[in-house]
Amino acid sequence: MGHRCCSKQKIKRGLWSPEEDEKLIRHITAHGHKSWSSVSKLAGLQRCGKSCRLRWINYLRPDLKRGSFTAEEEQTIIDVHRILGNRWSQIAKHLPGRTDNEVKNFWNSCIKKKLISQGLDPQTHTLLSSHRRATDCNISKIHPNTNSIFTLNSLIPNADKALKAQPDLVQTTSPIFSSEYHPTSIISNNVHAHDSLNFSDFHYLPSIGNTNNLCSSSCIYPSSAVGLSGNENSNIWASSAGNFRAQTLEGMQAQVQQAKEKTCEKGTDDVRELANKGNPEMNASFDHSSNFDFGLLENLLASEFMPHDLSSMDNFAWNF
DNA sequence: AATCAGGACAACCGCATTTTC
DNA sequence: AGAAAATGCGGTTGTCCTGAT
Q: What is the pLDDT of residues A132-163, one digit of tens each?
A: 554 443 333 323 332 222 222 322 333 333 33
Give residue A16's pLDDT.
92
Q: State the sign of the Cα–Cα–Cα–Cα dihedral A179, A239, A157, A78.
A: positive
Rounded to whole angstroms, the distance from the CA of residue A114 to the C1' of nucleotide B3 is: 29
Strand B lies under 7 A from the Cβ of residue A87: no
pLDDT for A286-297, tens place per residue? 322 223 333 334
**Amino acid identity at A54:** L
A218 and A204 Cβ atoms separated by less than 8 Å: yes
Pairing, β A202-206 against β A218-222? antiparallel
Give residue A245's pLDDT.
29
Give residue A125's pLDDT.
85
SS3 A299: helix
Spans of chain A below 70 pLDDT: 1-10, 129-320
A55 and A25 Cβ atoms separated by less than 8 Å: no
Give Cα separations from A209 to A183, A185, A205, A206, A301 (angstroms): 16, 11, 12, 10, 12
Give residue A127's pLDDT.
80
Rounded to whole angstroms, the distance from the CA of residue A273 to the C1' of nucleotide C1 is: 25
Give residue A88's pLDDT.
92
Rounded to whole angstroms, the distance from the CA of residue A151 to the C1' of nucleotide B8 is: 38
pTM of the complete model? 0.55
Give Cα separations from A180 to A42, A69, A196, A241, A302 (angstroms): 69, 35, 18, 20, 26
Give residue A267's pLDDT.
33
| Closest residue to C14 measured CA to C1′ | A14
Give residue A91's pLDDT.
92
Residues 83-112 of A with CB under 7 A from strand C: 86-90, 100-101, 104-105, 108
Give Cα separations from A122 to A113, A129, A204, A270 (angstroms): 8, 13, 16, 20
Strand C lies under 7 A from the Cβ of residue A286: no
A159 and A170 Cβ atoms separated by less than 8 Å: no
SS3 A139: helix
A235 and A189 Cβ atoms separated by less than 8 Å: yes
Within chain A, residue ranges assigned H as helices are 18-31, 36-42, 49-55, 71-84, 88-92, 100-106, 112-117, 129-142, 159-165, 249-265, 270-276, 280-287, 294-305
**What nucleotides of chain C have any atom within 7 angstroms of a protein Cβ?**
5-12, 15-16
Give residue A77's pLDDT.
92
Strand partners, A240: A243
Distance CA A255, CA A68 (A): 38
| Closest residue to C5 measured CA to C1′ | A5
